[in-house]
Amino acid sequence: MEPWKVGFVIDLDTRYLEKRNVRGKPGFYWNNRHALKKFGMKAQWLGYDPIAAAKRADELNKIYDRAKEGISVFVVGSLGWLLTRIEQTPEHKERPDKVRNEVENAFKRLRATPMIGHQIKGITGKHCKVLARKLGEDSGVAKAHRTMKWLRFALNQAKEEALIAANPLEGLKIKRPRARQVVVWENEVEALIAHFIGAGRASLALAVRFAFDTSQRSSDLINLSWTRWNDGLMRIKQKKTGATVVVPALPELAEMVATVKRTSTQIIISEETEQPYKADNFSHLINEGFRAIGAKNPKTGEPLGLLDEETGQAKVFRDLRRSAVVRLALAGCTIPMISAITGHSYARCEQILETYLPRTSEMAKLAIQKLLDARKA
């Protein structure tokens, strides 16, 4: 006899919820034969509690309904099921837009791979290595690395919830993209500020000064309100990390802010719209400025951008945050001092300094001068 004919379907509003005698007492199953055949879903034992069983059956019915509408559906316990589950959590929905988009793009790439239907309990380190290599071939090392980063996060969530005993990516070495080795130096910042002032975009000049002096992200700068500025003291709660930093302004920054008219809640306001900048437009305009002050193609006259001498990479706005860390270190600041200004973790500060400081003799000069100063004391 077919298993769904054992017992009888109870008279409830919840579809496909079956009541059966299991070990001498009534229990409940979800058994949608249409879903089993067409969408690869499985009949599920829902336990003896009728309320909990009806609730879970309703959840499964919603997954089935989404599948009928052409929306991807995955068997409970599969990687696809896990990713969808994470996207539906309040924690994910409350992420900053940039981070949430990065997560969802990574999950989208994962959904296009054969591993998406695997049960997470069966995913091995070998599976992950093959996946990383294939992603690298298809979309490049940088995207592959970001995708594997969020796969690692998803599997860590599964481990924390005891859905798997161990994360197969734990201890696994995944090829990383080459670190971006670009620093914007002070003379270049001054040239960029002069360019924007000359172009009638004092707001962008101010943004560059803020970024270089305080090492804050663009998302925090374009949302910086006057309530966070108090007589040369800036207080920012960083959107990405939640860290709060309180930074005294250098004189040149304080002087620029003093010239700004308070016409809006935010400090940095577009001259064109008289409104705060949108993130994409802000980055585009700043990076146009970098191109304008940089080298030009000798044949066509087209701007090549402000190029790094060693790597040949064009400098962009996001390089200012990293450059501010280097500038502070060259001034003799310790890692805890730098972190208090930038909001970076100590470990991230160390990574930045390990990459950039060996490229210049300025740090060695600074060290010798400190030794000489100590002898005089």
Compute the half-sphere exposure of residue 259: CA atoms within 13 Å on the CB side of its CA: 10
Q: What is the pLDDT of residues 76-98, one digit of tens each?
A: 788 988 998 898 888 998 887 87
pLDDT given for residue 274 in this prediction: 92
pLDDT given for residue 37 in this prediction: 56
Return the SS3 of 145.
Answer: helix
Flag the least confident range among 5-14, 57-66, 283-292, 361-370: 5-14
Whole-number Å distance between alpha carbons of 169 and 239: 28
Q: What is the pTM of this model?
A: 0.61
- On whether the CB atoms of residues 132 and 144 are closer than 8 A, the answer is yes
pLDDT given for residue 210 in this prediction: 93
pLDDT given for residue 10 in this prediction: 42
Q: Return the DSSP state at 248.
A: E
pLDDT given for residue 69 in this prediction: 64
Give the residue, 240 or 223, on which the prediction is more confident: 223
Highest-scoring range by mean pLDDT, 23-27, 133-137, 265-269, 358-362: 265-269
Q: What ranges make up the beta strands (E) of 173-311? A: 229-230, 233-237, 244-248, 295-296, 303-305
Give the residue, 23 or 127, on which the prediction is more confident: 127
Q: How far is CA 157 from the centre of its chain?
A: 17
Q: What is the pLDDT of residues 5-41, one digit of tens each?
A: 333 344 456 888 888 888 888 899 888 877 665 655 6
What proportion of the chain, given as a percentage, has pLDDT over 70?
A: 88
Flag the least confident range among 8-12, 58-62, 347-351: 8-12
Q: What is the pLDDT of residues 135-187, one digit of tens each?
A: 988 888 888 899 999 999 999 999 999 999 999 998 888 777 776 778 898 99
Paired tokens of 228 = 């966070």
Contacts with 134 (C-beta within 8 Å, 6 or more apart), sequence order: 113
Whole-number Å distance between alpha carbons of 167 and 151: 10
Highest-scoring range by mean pLDDT, 162-166, 201-205, 243-247, 327-331: 201-205
Confidence of residue 2 (pLDDT cuts 50, 70, 90): very low
Paired tokens of 24 = 């001498």
Highest-scoring range by mean pLDDT, 196-205, 300-309, 343-352, 354-363: 196-205
| Mean pLDDT computed over every residue of the chain | 83
Residue 206: how many other CB atoms lie within 10 Å:
22
pLDDT given for residue 287 in this prediction: 92
Q: What is the pLDDT of residues 97-114, one digit of tens each?
A: 878 889 999 998 898 888
